[in-house]
Structure 1
Amino acid sequence: MPDLLATMTAAARETGAFLRDRRPPAPGRTLETLRDTFRSVDEPAVALLRERLRVAAPAAVWAGELDTELPEKGEAWVVDAIDGAVQYLRGLPHWCVSLALVRDREPVAAVLHSAMPGETYTAVAGGGAHRDGVPVVPADGGELAAAVVVTAQPPFPAGRPEAVAAAGRGLSAVLPAVAAVRHLGPVSWQIADVAAGRLDAFWEYGRDDANLLAGALIAREAGALVTDLAGRPWRAGAESILVAPEALHGELLALLA
């Protein structure tokens, strides 16, 4: 795994630098111009990642970013070249390159690189989680009333009315119980920051495999609990997720379930 992780890390950093240096002017305020501007940077970034990652796992298929379909057996790359694309296109720093190698529908290696602060999270199954080479662990203990928690929604939530309704109920339940609820951009990076103790918990309703697989592996390897909102271990295809240290997980699950 060291060679695999090194290749993934180099590819993520190279792609992050490419995107940082090629950031386009802010798009116009129509959905069409937003999509066109996004494609103008995302497509070459994905092509760069395909070229760099092909040597690391030649037999791995390339799973789509939206409506991600994973094979039951074998390896697949789940890649989001610009996790946090909306922020990226508006000139905000909250975006990252997200890479996960999945084997038999389980993530086995993950790299997240945020080009603006120059930070990189990495994890391999059974090998722990790190930020810039230093092991990370979730926050230890603390009261829920003092917690800073984060949430997000899956892409294009207008087409997922059940997830939208659940998100409203969940926010209403959690907001009075914690110090603050925030949405800090890329889903994968928010989960990794929970894994590293910068934030206290993350939850989301709706299937969002492409954005969750890398962060879920990092969180598990750091020692956080990663479940769906029924309390079952989170797996690709789940319709919800909760990531939190053991000390807070049960209380949040009771509020959200």
Structure 2
Amino acid sequence: MIDRLDLPALMGIAEAVLDEVTGVFVDGLGSPGIHIKGVGDFATDVDLALENRIGNLLERRTGIEVHGEEFGGSAPDKGTMWILDPIDGTFNYSVGMPMAAMLLALTVDGEPVLGLTRIPLFGQSYAGHVGGPLLVNGVAIPPVPDSPLQTAVIGFGAFNAKAGGRYPGAARAELQRRLSYRAGRLRMTGSNGIDVAYVAAGVFGGAVSFSTKAWDNAAGAALVRAAGGLATDLAGNPWTVHSKSLVTGNRLLHGELLSVVAEAMPGLGD
């Protein structure tokens, strides 16, 4: 099915759509989180407005259905589907912190084949599809270079140390502890999408996301692969929309990062 898709054309359409809504994103910085979805999880009015507008424009111009964080849609594991997170880093955004992004991916039978990450308040744009190259602010850049864990910056997903769940907070804290002296530096930006876009661009060497949501991870997985890096779950399986975590990195560092994961979180891989 991928062979029948004109990925460069679809990427161009998607970029144009995101261009059209960037002003809404920028103007809404600081919008309060008034739509409560769970403990510590909420959406702003801007989330809903952006998803509605982006989804309508994409479906009208491409004929491809959109699965979004706020309004859902058909399961994204069959056929061709856009997967959208209108504001990644919503907590940051709601308090006026500019570290937030729009994430958009195209998947085919659950595999990410195209990704776009926009960081409008920093004027940064990342886009790529299967076969590469990665485009940063519209300019093709070389494949992500190899770098060892000991000299790299690693993005790490936010967490509550007391939380339970599939990957308990205590296990995440242990991984963070071990990485603190194995990696060059750790960074917790509050946006998984930004972390992984920075991996694709070679700013970060790698990133770990514990999110189980496809809209948090699909765009980044596509970008990293377009840039020549690796995107898997915590157990090292290639990332798909069914994955319950995301580990990304350049080809050298990715294996080192998975080794530390295995040490810190034995038996907790996907």
Question: How many Å apart are 1:70 and its aligned residue?
Answer: 3.0
Q: Which amino acid aligns with 1:255?
A: V
After alignment, is 82-91 or 198-207 more displaced?
A: 198-207
CA distance in 1, matches of 2:189, 2:170: 21
In the alignment, is residue 125 of structure 1 matched against residue 130 of structure 2?
yes
CA distance in 1, matches of 2:65, 2:159: 25
Equivalenced residue count is: 253
2:16 maps to which residue?
Answer: 10
CA distance in 1, matches of 2:77, 2:233: 20
CA distance in 2, matches of 1:96, 1:235: 21
In the alignment, is residue 172 of structure 1 matched against residue 174 of structure 2?
no
Question: Which of 45, 51, 60 is the matching residue for 1:55?
Answer: 60
Superposition TM-score, scaled by structure 1 size: 0.86
Q: Which amino acid aligns with 2:13?
A: T
Q: CA RMSD in A?
A: 2.9
Q: Structure 2 unaligned runs (5+)? A: 1-6, 263-270
State the Cα deviation string for residues 105-134 of structure 1 (Å, max 9, x = none). Answer: 112222111111212111122232211122
Question: How many Å apart are 1:63 and its aligned residue?
Answer: 4.5
Percent of residue pairs bearing the same amino acid type: 28
Superposition TM-score, scaled by structure 2 size: 0.82
Is the CA contact 1:141–1:247 (under 8 Å) kept in the aligned structure 2? yes
Question: How many Å apart are 1:51 and its aligned residue?
Answer: 2.1
CA distance in 1, matches of 2:109, 2:70: 18
2:29 maps to which residue?
Answer: 23
Question: Which of 95, 101, 105 is the matching residue for 2:110?
Answer: 105
CA distance in 1, matches of 2:182, 2:73: 34
Q: Secondary structure at the match of 1:11?
A: helix
Is the CA contact 1:80–1:210 (under 8 Å) kept in the aligned structure 2? yes
237 and 159 in structure 1: CA distance in 2 versus 1, 3 angstrom threshold = farther
Is the CA contact 2:159–2:172 (under 8 Å) kept in the aligned structure 1? no
Q: Secondary structure at the match of 2:238?
A: coil
After alignment, is 240-249 or 18-27 more displaced?
A: 18-27
CA distance in 1, matches of 2:10, 2:238: 26
142 and 3 in structure 1: CA distance in 2 versus 1, 3 angstrom threshold = closer
Q: Secondary structure at the match of 2:121?
A: coil
2:267 maps to which residue?
Answer: none
Question: How many Å apart are 1:82 and its aligned residue?
Answer: 0.5
After alignment, is 64-73 or 166-175 more displaced?
A: 64-73
Question: How many Å apart are 1:245 and its aligned residue?
Answer: 1.0
Is the CA contact 2:212–2:243 (under 8 Å) kept in the aligned structure 1? yes
CA distance in 2, matches of 1:206, 1:25: 23
In the alignment, is residue 182 of structure 1 matched against residue 187 of structure 2?
yes
Question: Which of 211, 214, 218 is the matching residue for 1:209?
Answer: 214
Q: Which amino acid aligns with 1:151?
A: F
Question: Which of 219, 228, 233 is the matching residue for 1:228?
Answer: 233
Question: How many Å apart are 1:60 and its aligned residue?
Answer: 2.1
Is the CA contact 1:137–1:195 (under 8 Å) kept in the aligned structure 2? no
Is the CA contact 2:66–2:84 (under 8 Å) kept in the aligned structure 1? no
CA distance in 1, matches of 2:192, 2:258: 19
State the Cα deviation string for residues 171-201 of structure 1 (Å, max 9, x = none). Answer: 1221111221111132112101111111111
131 and 75 in structure 1: CA distance in 2 versus 1, 3 angstrom threshold = same
1:256 maps to which residue?
Answer: 261
Q: Secondary structure at the match of 1:149?
A: strand
CA distance in 1, matches of 2:247, 2:219: 14
121 and 141 in structure 1: CA distance in 2 versus 1, 3 angstrom threshold = closer
CA distance in 1, matches of 2:210, 2:74: 19
Question: How many Å apart are 1:249 and its aligned residue?
Answer: 1.8
64 and 115 in structure 1: CA distance in 2 versus 1, 3 angstrom threshold = closer
